[in-house]
Structures are given as structure tokens and as C-alpha cells.
């Protein structure tokens, strides 16, 4: 496997692990069931909840959910890697067992069915999708697929098999094609532009950044860049230059292109560069310019690895700002999930940024599983006892604002399937060589 492929895998995993459309009835709906379960009312004035076998994967007693996750043991073995992530199944099973012990979702227990995949190519992902949908007939799937060649297989669930997916990073184009609801506890990259502008404004940092250049690491970023420019201009900020690199992967051509762009930026009085995408060569060149320009990173979650692997030359850089989350094992909203899993594991679970280099990372599996389950539980509860693709989609459209562990501000609604609204303003510190929070979490949807 080439070094470039290893790097792509690493970047895909870093984004996935940080952490971060309505379906039709299809042909798989279970016919009206004869099995029923009656859940006693909580007060004498409430009518009892009657549960039935309401949909594929939903019986009167249980909701069957698939959980796809990376086989880190096999990935390390087959490709000579040394990733320290623990497989996700143990954390997910512990949290589901706890949920079931508390009555499940409106009286139905959750039954998890696990399938592992490799984030290299579509083969294992496609097999997992077929097994979960055709063989297991699950109602929904958690986590989805990530990695070069595997990520696109998410559409196997939400389009081909009309199966709800909670997880992944759907693009606007993908959401236009889905036939079942696709939710993510994260924030989409397009909406992140407006959210970052809102964060800068609420944190009192926007006015001091001056004139902007919006720079894309590749031409595929242009729609996001245009949305960023519009959001800034709506705040009265000048954005005279919006351009994307056409020479991704070619260091010499990238630097030559950037030099031309920066000359134009200087004539326009630009003081801040907003970068969309992971432009390694462009970043290193901008670092070398010292404090000539402020640098804003569009998606700070994609740069979380800087805390343990700072990019070359960053010690020479000026002000670098981004938006991101700051996971912490001390977060009170994560306390219950931590308590449940640590009791099963028999040891302390540390957050990503608290781990030593050789310590096993249980946090990624725990935090992702905790958020997927909380997000699904909130929507499925709002959908009511007659749980179907349609009632789940209706609940997404009407549920509004709430919170999930690790994310104080989330919301869903018509056309809004990326739940996260919380962002924290972060600044890179060359003293500590780490990202530092310079604001409290902000509700960027407000």
C-alpha cells in the first residue's frame, strides 16, 4: 500500500473518529402484526401505549439496529499500521444493555447486530450493507462507512435498501438521492461556513480580522467557499478574492499558484485567509509567511491530529483560528456513558487528548456510540409507538432543538439532518503546540 493511501486512510479516520431525506415505505414493510405489547401508562390518566410489529426490523418487543465499524485489528495486521483504536462493539453493547435495563425506547429493547469493515475500498463495506439489510433486515444502522472507497457505500443503506442511517458525513448531493433518513450528530461542511461566521461574531473576533481571501485546497470546495463568502459579506466583511487550487497533489504547482493568489490578496488589502479543505502544501507555505496573514481553518475537527502531530513549519506561523469540539472525560454530559462502559471495561477511559501515544483509545468508540444512541433514542421516542421510516422522518422534521452527550446544542428540522450546532472557537498555541479553546461552546444556529 502506498504512503499516499496510508495518509488518506489516516485523514479519513481522524475526521470520522473525532468526535462530529424522507424514506418511502419500500417493499420491506412488515404486514400489520398480530403480536402486541402493552406498556403500562405512567399515570392513571394516560392511555396505555400499544406496541406492534410496525415495520421491518421493529417488533412489539425490539428494534433491530445494525452497527458498522472499522476492524482495527485486521486493518493494523493487513496494512502494517499501528493504530491504537479499540474496536467499537464493546462500548456500543454496554450502552445498549444499559438502555434496555432502563426500559429501552418506549418499551422496546434495542438489539444490536455488528458488522466490521475495512476503510480501504468498497468490498467489505458492500458485504456488510447487504448482510445487514437483506439478511438481518435491520430498521436502522449506526456509524456507517468511512475511508477511501468505502464512504460512498453509505448510499447502499439510505438509497438502495431504504434503511435509516445515523452517522457518517452526508453531502448535500447525497441527501438529494436518499430514500430513507440519514442523520449525523456532526455538522455538514457547507453549514459549517455560516456556523463559523456566527461563532466568530458571537465570540467578538470577526471585526478584528479585516479583509478576507477564501482559499480552497481543491476545486471541489467551490460551493462551500461561495457559501462562506456570502455569509461573511452578509456581516459586512469584504471578500475580494475567492479561489481554489487546481493543482492538488503537485507541491511545486500549488506553491506557484498560491504565490500568484497572495500577490493579488496583498493588492486587495487582505489580512485573513480562510482555508477550505486540507491543503498541506498551501498551509506550510502560509506558515512560512509568519504573521503576514491570519489563517482560519474551515473544519477544525479535521486538524485534531495537530495536537499530537503538528505540521512542519507551524512554529513560524502567525494567528491560526478554527472551530472544533474539545472532548473531555470530565464533561458531565458524558458521565453516564463513561460510568456504564468503565464498569464493563474495568478501567478508566481517557479522552483522545488525554491519552499517551501507546495507550488504547476506547474514547472514540465510546463517544461515537454514546452520541449515535442518544440521537436515535431522541428521534425514535418522538416518532411514537408506531415506529416506521415515515414516523421517524416526521419526528426529525418536528423535534427541534435538544442536546446529546458531548454536544450541548443540537437541532433537527425540515431539511436539517446534521444535528450539531455547538462550536468552540480555538486558537493554535505555539507555546503548548496544541489547540486551545478561546470561547465557550456557542449555539451557532441561534
Domains 3-187+332-422 and 189-326+424-443 share a fold: yes
Residues 196 and 298: beta-carbon distance below 8 Å:
yes
Report the SS3 class of residue 165.
Answer: strand
What pLDDT, on the 0 to 100 scale, is given for residue 45? Answer: 60
Cα 136 to Cα 113: distance, rounded to the nearest angstrom: 8
Mean pLDDT (whole number) for 347-371: 91
Categorize the per-residue pLDDT at 23 as very low, low, confident or very high, splitting at 50, 70 and 90: very low
Mean pLDDT (whole number) for 350-372: 91
The domain segmentation of the chain, as residue ranges, is 3-187+332-422, 189-326+424-443
Q: Is the pLDDT of residue 4 over 70?
A: no
Neighbours of 416 (CB within 10 A): 16
Categorize the per-residue pLDDT at 327 as very low, low, confident or very high, splitting at 50, 70 and 90: confident
C-alpha cell at 318: 502567525
Grid cell 415505505 in the structure block, residue:
25
Nearest to 262 by CA among 248, 241, 238, 288: 241
Question: HSE-up of 4 (CA within 13 Å, CB side)?
Answer: 3
Mean pLDDT (whole number) for 59-83: 96
Cα 344 to Cα 330: distance, rounded to the nearest angstrom: 19
Distance of CA 215 to the CA centre of its chain: 23
- Which tens digit of pLDDT belongs to each residue from 275-311? 999 888 999 999 999 999 999 999 998 887 887 788 9
- pTM (2 d.p.): 0.87
What pLDDT, on the 0 to 100 scale, is given for residue 9? Answer: 54
Residues 20 and 186: beta-carbon distance below 8 Å:
yes
List 242's β-bridge partners, or say none. 214
Cα 59 to Cα 40: distance, rounded to the nearest angstrom: 18
Nearest to 170 by CA among 149, 144, 195: 144
C-alpha cell at 155: 448510499
* Cα 63 to Cα 96, 184, 258, 429, distances in angstroms: 11, 19, 53, 47
What pLDDT, on the 0 to 100 scale, is given for residue 172? Answer: 87
Region of residue 106 (left: phi > 0; alpha: psi -120 to 50; beta: else): left
- Which tens digit of pLDDT belongs to each residue from 333-343? 999 999 999 99
Nearest to 389 by CA among 202, 157, 206: 157
Q: Is the pLDDT of residue 120 over 80?
A: yes
Burial class (CB in 10 A: 0-12, 13-18, 19+), 150: buried
- Which tens digit of pLDDT belongs to each residue from 219-273? 989 999 999 999 999 999 999 999 999 988 889 999 999 999 999 999 999 999 9
Cα 151 to Cα 116: distance, rounded to the nearest angstrom: 14
C-alpha cell at 140: 436502522
Q: Is the pLDDT of residue 35 over 50?
A: no
- Which tens digit of pLDDT belongs to each residue from 412-432? 999 999 999 999 999 999 999
What pLDDT, on the 0 to 100 scale, is given for residue 44? Answer: 52
Q: Is the pLDDT of residue 156 over 70?
A: yes
Residues 72 and 85: beta-carbon distance below 8 Å:
yes
Query: Percent of the chain beyond pLDDT 70?
Result: 89
Cα 53 to Cα 30: distance, rounded to the nearest angstrom: 7
Cα 416 to Cα 185: distance, rounded to the nearest angstrom: 11
CATH assignment of 3-187+332-422, among 3.90.180.10, 3.40.50.2300, 1.10.3720.10, 2.60.40.150: 3.40.50.2300
Cα 374 to Cα 372: distance, rounded to the nearest angstrom: 6
DSSP conformational letter for 134: I
Cα 290 to Cα 269: distance, rounded to the nearest angstrom: 17
Q: Look at 217 and 446; give whichever has higher pLDDT.
A: 217
Q: Is the pLDDT of residue 47 over 80?
A: no
DSSP conformational letter for 50: E
Chain-wide mean pLDDT for the chain? 90
Nearest to 379 by CA among 363, 358, 353, 400: 400
Mean pLDDT (whole number) for 300-327: 89
Cα 83 to Cα 70: distance, rounded to the nearest angstrom: 11
Categorize the per-residue pLDDT at 10 as very low, low, confident or very high, splitting at 50, 70 and 90: low
φ, ψ (nearest 5 deg) of residue 352: -50, -50
Residues 61 and 128: beta-carbon distance below 8 Å:
no
Residues 353 and 17: beta-carbon distance below 8 Å:
no
Q: Give kind and range of the element (H or E) at residue 295.
A: strand 294-297
Cα 267 to Cα 430: distance, rounded to the nearest angstrom: 29
What pLDDT, on the 0 to 100 scale, is given for residue 302? Answer: 83
Residues 352 and 306: beta-carbon distance below 8 Å:
no
Query: Percent of the chain beyond pLDDT 90?
Result: 78
CATH assignment of 189-326+424-443, among 3.30.565.40, 2.40.30.10, 3.40.47.10, 3.40.50.2300: 3.40.50.2300
Residues 122 and 156: beta-carbon distance below 8 Å:
no
Amino acid at each position: 500500500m502506498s504512503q499516499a493511501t496510508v495518509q488518506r486512510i489516516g485523514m479519513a479516520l481522524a475526521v470520522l473518529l473525532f468526535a462530529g431525506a424522507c424514506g418511502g415505505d419500500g417493499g420491506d414493510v412488515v404486514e400489520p402484526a398480530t403480536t402486541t405489547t402493552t406498556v403500562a401508562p405512567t399515570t392513571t390518566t394516560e392511555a396505555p401505549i400499544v406496541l406492534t410489529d410496525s415495520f421491518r426490523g421493529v417488533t412489539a418487543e425490539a428494534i433491530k439496529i445494525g452497527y458498522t465499524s472499522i476492524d482495527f485489528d485486521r486493518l493494523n495486521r493487513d496494512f502494517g499500521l499501528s493504530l491504537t483504536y479499540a474496536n467499537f462493539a464493546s462500548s456500543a453493547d454496554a450502552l445498549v444493555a444499559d438502555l434496555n435495563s432502563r426500559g429501552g425506547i418506549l418499551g422496546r429493547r434495542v438489539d444490536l447486530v455488528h458488522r466490521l469493515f475495512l476503510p480501504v475500498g468498497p468490498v467489505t463495506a458492500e458485504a456488510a450493507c447487504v448482510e445487514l439489510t437483506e439478511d438481518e433486515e435491520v430498521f436502522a444502522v449506526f456509524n456507517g462507512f468511512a475511508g477511501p472507497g468505502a464512504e460512498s457505500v453509505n448510499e447502499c443503506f439510505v438509497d438502495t435498501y431504504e434503511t435509516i442511517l445515523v452517522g457518517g458525513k452526508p453531502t448535500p448531493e447525497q441527501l438529494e438521492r436518499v430514500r430513507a433518513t440519514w442523520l449525523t450528530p456532526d455538522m455538514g461542511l457547507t453549514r459549517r461556513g455560516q456556523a463559523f461566521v456566527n461563532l466568530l461574531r458571537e465570540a467578538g473576533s470577526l471585526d478584528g480580522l479585516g479583509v478576507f481571501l477564501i482559499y480552497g485546497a481543491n476545486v471541489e470546495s467551490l460551493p462551500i467557499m461561495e457559501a462562506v463568502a456570502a455569509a461573511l459579506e452578509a456581516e459586512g466583511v469584504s471578500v475580494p478574492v475567492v479561489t481554489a487550487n487546481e493543482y492538488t497533489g503537485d507541491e511545486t504547482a500549488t506553491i506557484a499558484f498560491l504565490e500568484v493568489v497572495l500577490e493579488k490578496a496583498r493588492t486587495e488589502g487582505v489580512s485573513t485567509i480562510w482555508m477550505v479543505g486540507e491543503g498541506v502544501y498551501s498551509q506550510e507555505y502560509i506558515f512560512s509567511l509568519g504573521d503576514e496573514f491570519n489563517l482560519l481553518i474551515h473544519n477544525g475537527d479535521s486538524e485534531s491530529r495537530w495536537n499530537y502531530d503538528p505540521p512542519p513549519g507551524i512554529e513560524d506561523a502567525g494567528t491560526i483560528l478554527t472551530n472544533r469540539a474539545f472532548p473531555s472525560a470530565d464533561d458531565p454530559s458524558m458521565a453516564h456513558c463513561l460510568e456504564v462502559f468503565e464498569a464493563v471495561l474495568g478501567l478508566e477511559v481517557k479522552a483522545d487528548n488525554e491519552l499517551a501515544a501507546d495507550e488504547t483509545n476506547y474514547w472514540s468508540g465510546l463517544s461515537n456510540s454514546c452520541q449515535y444512541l442518544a440521537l436515535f433514542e431522541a428521534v425514535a421516542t418522538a416518532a411514537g409507538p408506531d415506529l416506521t421510516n415515515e414516523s421517524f422522518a416526521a419526528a426529525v422534521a418536528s423535534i427541534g432543538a435538544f442536546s446529546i452527550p458531548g454536544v450541548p446544542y443540537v437541532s433537527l428540522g425540515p431539511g436539517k439532518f446534521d444535528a450539531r450546532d455547538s462550536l468552540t472557537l480555538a486558537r493554535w498555541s505555539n507555546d503548548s503546540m496544541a489547540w486551545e479553546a478561546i470561547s465557550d461552546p456557542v449555539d451557532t444556529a441561534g
